[in-house]
């Protein structure tokens, strides 16, 4: 069964303490892997799309990387405003249109 697993479930960092979030997947034939950020009471905000192993994308303090089995979201010198839940989703070949498989997310808290 196709599956997306995110770890850790929750992560607490001090401001400036860099770390990484993990998203592992077992889909057969990855079409794309997506990272979203979700603030409490709001809808997910699109961050990145990764299509092939070795690909990397950056946005401010965030950098997403992709291998054949997992993706990492690296957070460099985080600030309190980076606190949110980060969601990973995959779309696979053979999947129906729009059928993204989401992980449960990692809740990040950054303390000043």
Partner 1 sequence: ETGVTQTPRHLVMGMTNKKSLKCEQHLGHNAMYWYKQSAKKPLELMFVYNFKEQTENNSVPSRFSPECPNSSHLFLHLHTLQPEDSALYLCASSHVSNGSPSDEQFFGPGTRLTVL
HEC assignment per residue over the chain: CCCEEEECCEEEEECCCCEEEEEEECCCCEEEEEEEEECCCCCCEEEEEECCCCCEEEECCEEEEECCCEEEEEECCCCHHHCEEEEEEEEECCCCCCCCEECCCEEEEEEC
Q: Does position 91 bind partner 1 by CB under 8 A?
A: yes
Range in contact with partner 1 (rule: CB under 8 A) among 10-18, 55-63, 67-75, 85-93: 85-93
Q: Does position 58 bind partner 1 by CB under 8 A?
A: no
Q: Does position 23 bind partner 1 by CB under 8 A?
A: no
Range in contact with partner 1 (rule: CB under 8 A) among 15-23, 60-68, 72-80, 100-108: 100-108
Q: Does position 21 bind partner 1 by CB under 8 A?
A: no
């Amino acid at each position: 069964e196709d599956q997306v697993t995110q770890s850790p479930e929750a992560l607490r960092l001090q401001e400036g303490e860099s770390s990484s979030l993990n998203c592992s997947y077992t889909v057969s034939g990855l079409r794309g892997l997506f990272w979203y950020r979700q603030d409490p009471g709001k809808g997910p905000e699109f961050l990145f799309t990764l299509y092939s192993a070795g690909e990397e994308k950056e946005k401010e303090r965030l950098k997403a990387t992709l291998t054949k089995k997992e993706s990492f979201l690296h957070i460099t010198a985080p600030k309190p405003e980076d606190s949110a839940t980060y969601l990973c989703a995959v779309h696979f070949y053979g999947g129906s249109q729009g059928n993204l498989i989401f992980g449960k997310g990692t809740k990040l808290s950054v303390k000043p």
